Structure 1
Amino acid sequence: MKTNRVKPTIEDVAKRAGVSVATVSRVINTQGGVRKETEKKIVQAIKELNYVRSAVARSMVRKETKTIAVIIPDICNPFFSEVVAGIERKAIAKDYFTTLSNSNDSRIVERKIVQHILERGVDGVIVTTADESGEQLKPLIDANIPIVAVDRVIKKFDVDTVIIGNREGAYEAVQHLITEGHEKIAIIRGPQDTTPGLERYKGYMQALEEHGLETKEEWIGDGDFKEYSGFELTKRFAQLKNPPTAIFSSNNLMSIGSLKAMKELNWMLGEEVAFIGFDDIEIATFTSPQITTVSRPMRHLGEVSFQLLYDRMKAGNESSMQKRQFILTPHLNIRESCRRIR
């Protein structure tokens, strides 16, 4: 017959070691002020009783959970996997755990995630929001939970933000196509209600305007940062009476879709059409020709995001720390997919 084993308590440890509960607590929480001989007795009692301290109880005393929440819009996007890896690397070093939620770029889902976070309790939140107005994040603000926005901004509230120079990266990419002799340059742009989508489109337009190049509505494709939109828009470009000689894709998944379409259409990459994608992709250097990309320091993006959040969590609610924004620099990796036009 099974018997229910009662978990040992901190009182049991104190009794076994012959000390007070307060002394055990000081040892468990590494607060110091306990003689080495006494500490050895307590450690031995903990081992003998197989005592496991309660994280919940500890959080109630310290008013912290040692847990942060990360909300991303697309768990299938390798970009976010790398950002989260950067966050977790820094978090673990500071003895924090990370919970990850996928909003599927839905403000409704994000609102539910926020409610769940409030019910479970966390010390801070890093979010790539589905809705840059930030309205669905208001309950976190009201609860004085520190927030850091990554990759997208939150317009309604003053929170720390870490983004990439989206406009500059797109401008440099299109500028390179122009120097290679291309004048008919199409864009697969992202959603215009997001910072990356809008700013990359602005960079594209800036490069064309500075060189006095024509912009045609038919060369502007409205994508959704998903693979299928890149695939469909590339097919549409190829079927135009006046097709572009170059394509700039605004994110990695749409780039993958675009490249798949080119292969299906037998549209010769680097010969009949040049191509540059925003975000490095795994296959970029394994294809023939190799793909020119605008790369971002993805892990560093996550590391900076956690550091900003950590600063906020340690500063506390009464801090007068001003809102901070970090803009990291992208890099154009020039490869073979955007050779000079013949």
Structure 2
Amino acid sequence: MATIQDVAKHAGVSIATVSRVLNGTTYVNEEVTSRVRAAIKELNYQPSRAAQALRAHRSKIIGLLISDIQNPFFTGLIRGVEDVANRNGYSLILCNSDENPRKEQQYIEVLCSERVAGAIVVSTSENPKKLHLFRDHDIPFVSVDRRIKDRTTDAILIDNVSGAYEAVTHLITNGYHRIGVITGPVSTTTGRERLEGYRKALREAGLALEPALECVDDFKSMGGYQGALKLLDLTPPIDALFVTNNLMTLGALEAIHERHLRIPDDIAIVGFDEMPWAALSAISLTTVTQPVYELGSSAALRLFQRLQNPTSLSKQEIVLSPTLQVRDSTRPRPSLKGA
């Protein structure tokens, strides 16, 4: 007995396209429709009424796939998504890829098998595998925090380049000229764009770009710790650090403490992402603050627009602006005080 997969293969289209032709709920051009109907006739395909009933049933659940559940950054983002979902009568399934592409693929399969109404994804890379499964199952999805290479996917993002540029320019203005950077994987737009902003600030200030001053690791605290130790061992020494996420900043602070260095007298530091204690510690931390709740709520709002208008909306990319919160960890160098 022929299956819907057989029909799709015979007609040279996706399973989702066959489903659209069968259900008649979404426009498919006449030439493709003719091919699908011809394949159905030739293969004597008989759609299962039970399967059609299941496909017609839209769940009231939204899937949210994040990249690191241990990162406090995602707390606000999750709350933003959840609040919008609840207002619309939907519940949330939370999945954690842990920056692992294999886990990401598994969770995409799970969300599709659970027939979620839609999904919001923080991808592990610009080319995540298995995302096509959402389209195959007619599940709309939105990319959040990180851009993916797809011309049709909505994205809600942060202006990482300008945030990093402002942070490093602030350090340069305060007299720091040998600035190290610790960033996450450049396979992610967050890692690469924050590095780009760092480089842009140095170039515009007439400072040389030195590969030795750039550390690329994961977005976890151990990556920040190891990167900081490496940069602190350089000769001549660095006078400032720009760290591109909150967990890596924690690791870098641990390394600075182990070396018995004073902030900012021996070394200045700027982090990316606000942390609850950033303004309360002995040396308050200058940070690039992201509007994380708005990031999540905007992604959810866009997803519900997709649910209401599955085919009539063009791709939308929303870019939110971060804010530099200046605190004691980047005080001007002594030679500049009173200037």
TM-score by length of 1: 0.80
Match for residue 277 of structure 2 among 277, 283, 295: 283
Structure 2 equivalent of residue 328 of structure 1? 320
Partner SS state of residue 328, structure 2: coil
Structure 2 equivalent of residue 123 of structure 1? 117
Match for residue 255 of structure 2 among 249, 261, 265: 261
The 1-side partners of 2:243 and 2:105 are apart by 30
Please show how residues 106-117 of structure 1 align to structure 2 within 5 Å: 106-117=100-111
Structure 2 equivalent of residue 191 of structure 1? 185
Does residue 313 (structure 1) correspond to residue 302 (structure 2)? The answer is: no
The 2-side partners of 1:192 and 1:98 are apart by 30
Q: Where do 4+ consecutive residues of structure 1 move more than 6 Å?
A: none
**Residue type of the alignment partner of 2:229:** K
Does residue 340 (structure 1) correspond to residue 332 (structure 2)? The answer is: yes
Larger radius of gyration: 1
Partner SS state of residue 161, structure 2: helix
Does residue 219 (structure 1) correspond to residue 213 (structure 2)? The answer is: yes
Structure 2 equivalent of residue 40 of structure 1? none
Does residue 86 (structure 1) correspond to residue 101 (structure 2)? The answer is: no
Cα RMSD for the two superposed structures: 1.4
Deviations 1:311-339 (A, max 9, x none): 001113xx221000000010000000011
Query: Residue 216 of structure 1: CA displacement?
Result: 1.8
The 1-side partners of 2:263 and 2:229 are apart by 13
Structure 2 equivalent of residue 171 of structure 1? 165
Query: Residue 248 of structure 1: CA displacement?
Result: 0.2
Deviations 1:187-242 (A, max 9, x none): 00111110100100000000000111022222111121110111111112222221
Structure 2 equivalent of residue 271 of structure 1? 265
**Residue type of the alignment partner of 1:115:** E
Structure 2 equivalent of residue 147 of structure 1? 141
Does residue 247 (structure 1) correspond to residue 241 (structure 2)? The answer is: yes
The 2-side partners of 1:138 and 1:291 are apart by 42
Q: Is the 8 A contact 2:101 2:128 kept in 1?
A: no
Query: Residue 143 of structure 1: CA displacement?
Result: 1.8
Q: Is the 8 A contact 1:72 1:101 kept in 2?
A: yes
Q: Is the 8 A contact 2:283 2:329 kept in 1?
A: yes
Q: Is the 8 A contact 2:284 2:327 kept in 1?
A: yes
Match for residue 230 of structure 2 among 236, 240, 243: 236
Q: Is the 8 A contact 2:120 2:300 kept in 1?
A: yes
**Residue type of the alignment partner of 1:91:** A
TM-score by length of 2: 0.81
Partner SS state of residue 104, structure 2: helix
Deviations 1:61-100 (A, max 9, x none): 9631110100011000011121011100111111100000
**Residue type of the alignment partner of 2:330:** C
Unmatched segments (≥5 aa) in structure 2: 1-52, 335-339
The 2-side partners of 1:154 and 1:189 are apart by 19
The 2-side partners of 1:85 and 1:259 are apart by 28
Partner SS state of residue 98, structure 1: strand
The 2-side partners of 1:207 and 1:131 are apart by 25
The 2-side partners of 1:184 and 1:282 are apart by 29
Unmatched segments (≥5 aa) in structure 1: 1-58
Q: Is the 8 A contact 1:277 1:293 kept in 2?
A: yes
The 2-side partners of 1:74 and 1:88 are apart by 17
**Residue type of the alignment partner of 1:281:** M
**Residue type of the alignment partner of 2:256:** M
Partner SS state of residue 191, structure 2: helix
**Residue type of the alignment partner of 2:94:** L
Deviations 1:264-306 (A, max 9, x none): 1111111110110011112211212100000001111100000
The 2-side partners of 1:275 and 1:105 are apart by 25
Structure 2 equivalent of residue 46 of structure 1? none
Structure 1 equivalent of residue 291 of structure 2? 297
Work out the number of aligned pairs and report it: 282
